[in-house]
């Protein structure tokens, strides 16, 4: 009998503990995850919990799986610990500063002409020794350096002569 009472108390303790953690949580992602596992501990179905929190059933299952394997530590927004693209970056801060310097000083790009995405990609290949850098990555680093495309505007070959331009000005005022 006492064994059954201990089991009941531990079962009651878990939902109570999860509710307390849920109510104290300030991080919105952790709070939602705690709500999911709390509702599940009260006997809610995956479908019902997913409907309440607005997440997919698959994601609710994933959060419950994490909670069962790692406890409360497995919940919350894991993106905070994600190093992101820094490890995959083609240029570190120093390399980006070198690129900005080359752009600002007007250094000619590989192959001459004006700087563009493919030319920045070739520049990165030369500086880093990376075998193949796609033009899109060159464009991204060009934009990241604050550089905009420097392409002259197309001229209208059959543009208006001086008298037509003057007549237009008078009409449009």
Per-residue model confidence as pLDDT tens digits over 31-52: 999 999 999 999 999 999 999 9
Structure tokens that stand for 2 in this block: 């006492």
Top pLDDT among 153 and 103 is at 103
pLDDT tens, position by position, 101-131: 988 888 888 888 888 899 999 999 998 888 8
Give the whole-angstrom CA distance, residue 103 versus residue 80: 33
Confidence band (pLDDT; 50, 70, 90) for 85?
Answer: low
Please tell me the predicted confidence (pLDDT) of residue 149.
67
Structure tokens that stand for 77 in this block: 């927004």
- In percent, how much of the chain has pLDDT > 70? 84
Top pLDDT among 157 and 27 is at 27
- In this prediction, residues 86-98 reach a mean pLDDT of 85
- In this prediction, residues 84-92 reach a mean pLDDT of 77
């Amino acid at each position: 009998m006492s064994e059954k009472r201990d089991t009941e108390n531990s079962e009651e303790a878990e939902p109570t503990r999860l509710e307390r953690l849920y109510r104290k949580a300030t991080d919105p992602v952790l709070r939602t995850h705690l709500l999911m596992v709390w509702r599940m501990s009260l006997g809610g179905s995956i479908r019902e919990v997913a409907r309440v929190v607005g997440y997919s059933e698959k994601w609710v299952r994933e959060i419950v799986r994490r909670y069962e394997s790692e406890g409360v530590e497995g919940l919350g927004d894991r993106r905070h610990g994600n190093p992101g693209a820094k490890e995959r970056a083609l240029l570190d801060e120093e390399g980006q500063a070198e690129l900005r310097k080359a752009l600002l000083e007007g250094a000619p790009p590989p192959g001459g002409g004006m700087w563009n995405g493919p030319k920045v990609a070739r520049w990165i290949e030369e500086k880093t020794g990376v075998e193949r850098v796609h033009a899109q990555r060159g464009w991204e680093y060009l934009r990241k350096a604050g550089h905009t495309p420097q392409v002259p505007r197309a001229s209208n070959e059959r543009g208006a002569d001086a008298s037509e331009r003057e007549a237009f000005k008078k009409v449009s005022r």
